[in-house]
Structure 1
Amino acid sequence: MAVFDVFNPLQNVTPRFIEEQLSEIIEWFDENSKPLLIIDNGEPINVITVEKIKDFLDLKKFHRRDFHYPSYAEIMNEVEKLKAGIIRMITKDQFIYMLDKWILMPDIKHELKLAFKVFDTEKRNFLETDDIKVIVTTHADVYSEAETRELLRDANVRGDGNVFYEDFVESLFNVAPELYQLEAQYLYQNPHEDPSVLPEPEETAPTPIATEGESNMPVKDQKES
């Protein structure tokens, strides 16, 4: 087993960022780093401070669906693992390594439930057996009649003729946990369309403080008589 090198953390790691994201990270680092760290009397190495990491995260470059924005305590926990708790300085490779750990990969069970929700236009949390039959015989890899009957027999987990799809998905993964090993992709290509992710809270402008002789109470429009 290879020994983890805190100054070369990407030695056995392939960052999961797409090329465009990785270029943005490197560009930001190069613009904000300074040659402050010297190792074994070598040439100064460009680094950023721990506080700068928070500045980068505050830019919100990644959508919350596929990136976990860490708390300050979580940041410091990773800093300690990189033995940078005292110097509080992070190299470029360490910076990329830390950010990569907070990438969220698609969860196949969650994405499958979202796929059922697309067809649940009335938001009843279940689909009728006829709906399921249409879905599996007309979309993607279509099922045969025999496969459809078998699927519907297993899907009717409550025995009332309706398919409560969240229960059905859970039962599938309980019976066949190997499904977790399947590679998943996000159902929604545009993350801002994903109904399972709440939008970023809007910042409200602070209420202006009234100066002497003024009031914060709203003034109604008055019509001239």
Structure 2
Amino acid sequence: MPDASASKRIKALTKDNYVSWAVDFSALARSKGFCRLLKGTETCLQDPDKAEDWDTRQEKAGGELMLSLSEEQRIHVKGKEDDPTAMWDALQAVQQKIPGTCSNTFDDFFALRKRPEESLSSLIARVDTLYARIKDLRPPAYTLDFLDQELACMALIRALPEEYSHFVSALMLQSTLDKDAVVQVFIQEENNRTRRSTAPVASSEAVLAVSLV
């Protein structure tokens, strides 16, 4: 009996599991013979007989890929269903466009601690998984200066106490996140908190939207 639900064997892609999902789906693609097609290293041949087989595998790759996505992730590949390479690239690009995603992953990375009954081999595997995710989330032109800016932003954000949780949540949703912008938002938030007892001010979310444009 044919396996019509191979993608069901791997956990669907969500906003939080891109690295493990990508590893699992790449393995599935290799087992099904369309990994190179998925990653764009195999192109359509001019031979009509071979081109038909390529089209079939192209459709299969797109179908398997769509089945492996959660509902919230399917919006990112809308209109690309007939091009699995474009779908794959779009999903990877989404991970790199959300500054908060990488910062949260760094946060998880530095918060790692050995569990009471965990083996050292298991700990190493968890570190490797998170490190791979951090690498996948880096933009194409990643530099040491970019890393320095990112670490400085993380230090500022991680230093805030719980009472700033809503402010941090709004900050992490912004489309840009660099040290100068974060510093300006911090200063504005401090000014707002100072004046809040005497006059109404804009919400943290509104301030962030203006300050980080």
User: Could you tell me the TM-score, scaled by structure 2's length?
Assistant: 0.28
Q: Which has more strand, going by share of residues?
A: 1
User: Could you tell me the TM-score, scaled by structure 1's length?
Assistant: 0.27
| Larger Rg computed on CA atoms | 1
Q: Which has more helix, going by share of residues?
A: 2
